[in-house]
Amino acid sequence: MSLWEYANPKKFLATSERVLPFFWVSAGLCLVVGLVWGFFFTPDDFRQGSTVKIIYLHVPSAMMAINAWVMMLLASLIWLIRRHHVSALAARAAAPVGVVMTLIALVTGAIWGQPMWGTWWAWDPRLTSFLILFLFYLGYVALWEAIENPDTAADLTSVLCLVGSVFAVLSRYAVNFWNQGLHQGATLSLDKEENISDVFYFPLLVCIAGFVLLFIALVLYRTGTEIRARRIKALRLRERAAA
């Protein structure tokens, strides 16, 4: 069996319908367990007080904001190289989810920043690159809507996605590139022996799993919707041609 079989819309729809209940249920469970655990059953931080509870929303959404763009980049490359329509539609389906993830990261960051830094916003490398990533997301969604021909739209949005990837990478590594600004370094890193205290770490991992699973569920469902919308267009054209 080859991965490219799923480039067939019928095969993609049949498979996604089979696996979607698992992703919806496990995403809901992880989010409820992680957020309830983090909100109700973790202590305050000795410096940040109860604001540390925002970590369970801010970190997973920021991670998914970047990862959603990476997924769109891979799907766009597949479209540009192999011309599989499902991959272009998957990239299109992921963009609004990425918009929401980036918005959550920006909003929770501003709310968290106000009491900790004394300001809602600063032109700090990470914050600024995240804002630019958000604008790229909006531009990407707008470009899909603006172009009538779906193949041209897929081509142009794929190129935009390649350019925007620079900012997705910058958002992740901005703190390392420019050793300045208010934002702290990465909360979670594979290089460190201990990232944050286990009491915060484990509920955070459950929340991250919840955000990842929710993203997969949303993208699978939305890709199915895009495939059906494309089929409606084709059927209408056929109807019009026959009339």
Angle among Cα 206, 195, 73 to the nearest 5 degrees reads: 65
Closest distance between another protein and the C-beta of residue 228, in Å?
5
For another protein, which is the closer residue by CB, 63 or 170? 63
Give the Å distances, CA to CA, from 22 to 1, 16, 18. 22, 10, 8
For another protein, which is the closer residue by CB, 163 or 199? 199
149-152, long-range: CB < 8 A, 24+ apart:
150/85, 150/88, 150/230, 150/233
The b-or-e profile of 232-241 (16+ CB within 10 A means b, else e) is eeeeeeeeee
For another protein, which is the closer residue by CB, 110 or 169? 110
Residues near another protein (CB under 8 A) are: 31, 35, 39-40, 44, 49-51, 53-54, 57-58, 61, 96-97, 100, 103-104, 107-108, 111-112, 114-115, 214, 218, 221-222, 224-225, 228-229, 231-232, 235-236, 238-239, 242
The residues, any chain, with a CB within 8 Å of residue 40's CB and separated by 6 or more, are none
Q: Structure tokens of 23?
A: 């992703």
The residues, any chain, with a CB within 8 Å of residue 73's CB and separated by 6 or more, are 161, 162, 165, 168
For another protein, which is the closer residue by CB, 6 or 211? 211
Closest distance between another protein and the C-beta of residue 179, in Å?
28
Closest distance between another protein and the C-beta of residue 163, in Å?
25
Closest distance between another protein and the C-beta of residue 86, in Å?
16
Kindly report the backbone phi and psi dihedral angles of residue 178, in degrees, each rounded to the nearest multiple of 5, phi listed first: -115, 110
For another protein, which is the closer residue by CB, 168 or 214? 214
Closest distance between another protein and the C-beta of residue 122, in Å?
17
